[in-house]
Amino acid sequence: MPLTLATQAPDEPEIFASLQGEGPSAGMPVAFLRLSRCNLACVWCDTAYTWHFEGDERPHRSGETYERRPNQLVLNEAEVARRIAETGQKRLVITGGEPLMQAGKLAEMLEHLPDMQVEIETNGTVDPPARLDIRVDQYNVSPKLAHSGNPAELALKPEMLDRWATDERAFFKFVLAAPGDIEEVRALAQTYMIPARRIFLMPEGTDGATLRSRMEWLVPLCLEHGFRLSDRLHIHLFGDTRGT
Q: Is residue 118 assigned to a domain?
A: yes
What pLDDT, in 10s, does the model give residues 217-226?
999 999 999 9
Whole-number mean pLDDT of the chain? 97
Over pLDDT 90: what percentage of the chain?
100
- Whether 243 is in a domain gets the answer no
pLDDT above 90: residue 176: yes
* Pair type for strands 72-76 and 29-34: unpaired
| Cα 176 to Cα 184: distance, rounded to the nearest angstrom | 10
CATH number at 208 reads 3.20.20.70
Domain count, the chain: 1
pLDDT tens-place string over residues 180-235: 999 999 999 999 999 999 999 999 999 999 999 999 999 999 999 999 999 999 99
Q: What angle do CA 74, 80, 82 make, to 5 degrees?
A: 145
| Residue 153 belongs to a domain | yes
pLDDT higher than threshold 80 for residue 1: no
Distance CA 51, CA 41 (A): 8
DSSP assigned state of 122: E
Q: What is the mean pLDDT of residues 42-67?
A: 96
Residue 151 lies in a domain: yes
Residue 78 falls within a domain, yes or no? yes
Range of the domain at 32: 2-238
